[in-house]
């Protein structure tokens, strides 16, 4: 078990009991690359949902900031200042002033460098625990600034509620009340670096990205099942319009908006993930993963999340997703396969 101990903090406070939170996996149901800004950052627009599977993070309050890592996928992770949990704690202290903090313990169950925001979810979990410990409101600007400093996916992971995120992750729509989406998440055990995927995308600073097209023109759009109705009346813009009228900073008081399941599936069928084609060039095994998922009985849609390598398939009910996960695990025992519900 890796660990780090840093002597610092605020003495003189009574230490409450340990605090725990789940760091849920983030899944990009759809992802558009709008272009690359002059400063080199890529502008994105993505519908994000969160899975029932997660890492677990505990904070044992104390005068020393520390981190230990365990869990089935914690091997090889460094518990040093590069870890996003500690970076989040430092960022919040910079933004909000001296904090009560302590020793974190991370139980790692989500694969790393996998496109489901495991590290970002861990960082967001650290911010939530520190906010609870220090009485910081969830909508406090300092908390949001700290999240944005740590990583593009951290702001949306703070609440872990379905939203559309845009820009470089700093623009969040109102929370969405999605119908339960029964899914299977699959990772072939190949870490995919986000920087390598964006490099393969090949956009120059200031260059817009063309509209989404299939990475293989001779094939149907990757991951879209024939069972999902589509057509010219259900473009991505319908999904964008179904959420909030204005993209705005995260607001704890925002009202959740509902989205009909059939409308959601139609909109997803007309969208895609613009990072899938470059990710497949970086990690060709993704083509195999998506082919397996699309062939599973009852699969309504299969797609890559984020910049990969985790992919997902959607099903009509939990029995279908559980059966599909068991069948795939038998065929590919070395892959990480998890049935879950996305919300």
pLDDT digits (tens, 9 = 90+) for 36-58: 999 999 999 999 999 999 999 99
User: Residues 233-267: pLDDT tens digits?
Assistant: 333 555 555 544 344 444 444 456 666 777 787 78
Token pair 């009340």 is found at: 177
Residues carrying an active site annotation: 26, 153
258: DSSP letter: E
Q: Which H/E stretch holds residue 5?
A: strand 2-7
Is residue 277 within 8 A of residue 195, CB to CB? The reply is: no
Place of tokens 């293989």: 216
Residue 226 has pLDDT above 80, yes or no: no
Q: Is the pLDDT of residue 199 over 50?
A: yes
Q: Convert the pLDDT of each residue in 312-342 to its tens digit.
A: 999 999 999 999 999 999 999 999 999 999 9
Would you list the DSSP string of 272-289?
-BTTHHHHHHH-THHHHH
Selected residue with higher pLDDT from 268 and 121: 121
Phi, psi of 51 (to 5 degrees): -90, 165
Instruction: Give the model's pLDDT for residue 267.
Output: 83
The pLDDT mean for the chain works out to 86
Q: Residue 172's pLDDT is what?
A: 94
φ, ψ for residue 81, nearest 5 deg:
-65, -10
How far does Cα 175 stand from its chain's mean position? 15
**What is the distance between the alpha carbons of residues 35 and 41, in angstroms, rounded to a whole number?**
9
Query: Parallel, antiparallel, or unpaired for β 257-258 and 171-172?
Result: unpaired
State residue 104's pLDDT score: 98
User: Which residue from 175, 121, 197, 198 is spatially nearest to 153, judged by alpha carbons?
Assistant: 121
CB distance 43 to 35 below 8 Å:
yes
Which residues contact residue 66 at a Cβ distance below 8 angstroms, ignoring those fewer than 6 apart? 3, 4, 5, 6, 102, 103, 104
Residue 180 has pLDDT above 80, yes or no: yes
pTM of the model: 0.86
pLDDT of residue 202: 97
Instruction: Give the pLDDT confidence of 115-166 residue by residue, as tens digits.
Output: 999 999 999 999 999 999 999 998 899 999 999 999 999 999 999 999 999 9
Instruction: Give the domains, in start order, of the chain with CATH numbers.
Output: 2-172 (3.30.230.10), 176-342 (3.30.70.890)
Residue 228's pLDDT is what? 36
79 and 2 Cβ atoms separated by less than 8 Å? yes
């Amino acid at each position: 078990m890796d660990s780090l101990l840093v002597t610092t903090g605020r003495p003189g406070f009574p230490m409450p009991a340990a605090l725990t939170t789940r760091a849920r996996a983030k899944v990009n149901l759809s992802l558009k690359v709008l272009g690359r800004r002059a400063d080199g950052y890529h502008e994105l627009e993505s519908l994000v949902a969160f899975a029932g599977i997660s890492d677990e993070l505990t904070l044992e309050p104390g005068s020393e900031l520390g981190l230990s890592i365990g869990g089935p996928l914690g091997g090889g992770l460094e518990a040093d200042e590069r870890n996003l949990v500690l970076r989040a704690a430092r960022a919040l202290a910079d933004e909000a002033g001296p904090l009560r903090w302590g020793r974190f313990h991370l139980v790692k169950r989500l694969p790393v460098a996998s496109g489901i925001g495991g590290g970002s979810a861990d960082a967001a979990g650290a911010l939530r625990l520190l906010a609870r410990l220090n009485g910081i409101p969830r909508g406090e600007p300092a908390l949001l600034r700290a999240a944005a400093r740590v990583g593009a996916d951290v702001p949306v992971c703070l609440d872990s509620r379905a939203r559309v995120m845009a820009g470089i992750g700093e623009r969040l729509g109102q929370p969405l009340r999605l119908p339960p989406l029964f899914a299977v998440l699959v990772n072939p055990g190949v870490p995919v670096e986000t920087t390598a995927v964006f490099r393969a995308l090949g956009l120059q600073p200031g260059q817009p990205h063309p509209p989404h097209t299939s990475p293989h023109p001779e094939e149907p759009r990757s991951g879209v099942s024939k069972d999902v109705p589509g057509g010219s009346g259900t473009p991505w813009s319908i999904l964008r319009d179904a959420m909030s009228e204005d993209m705005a900073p995260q607001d704890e008081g925002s009202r959740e908006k509902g989205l009909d399941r059939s409308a959601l599936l139609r909109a997803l069928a007309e969208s895609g993930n613009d990072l899938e084609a470059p990710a497949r060039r970086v990690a060709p095994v993704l083509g195999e993963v998506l082919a397996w998922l699309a062939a599973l009985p009852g699969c309504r849609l299969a797609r890559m999340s984020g910049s990969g390598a985790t992919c997902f398939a959607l099903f009509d009910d939990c029995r279908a997703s559980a059966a599909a996960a068991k069948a795939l695990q038998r065929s590919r025992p070395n892959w990480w396969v998890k049935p879950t519900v996305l919300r």
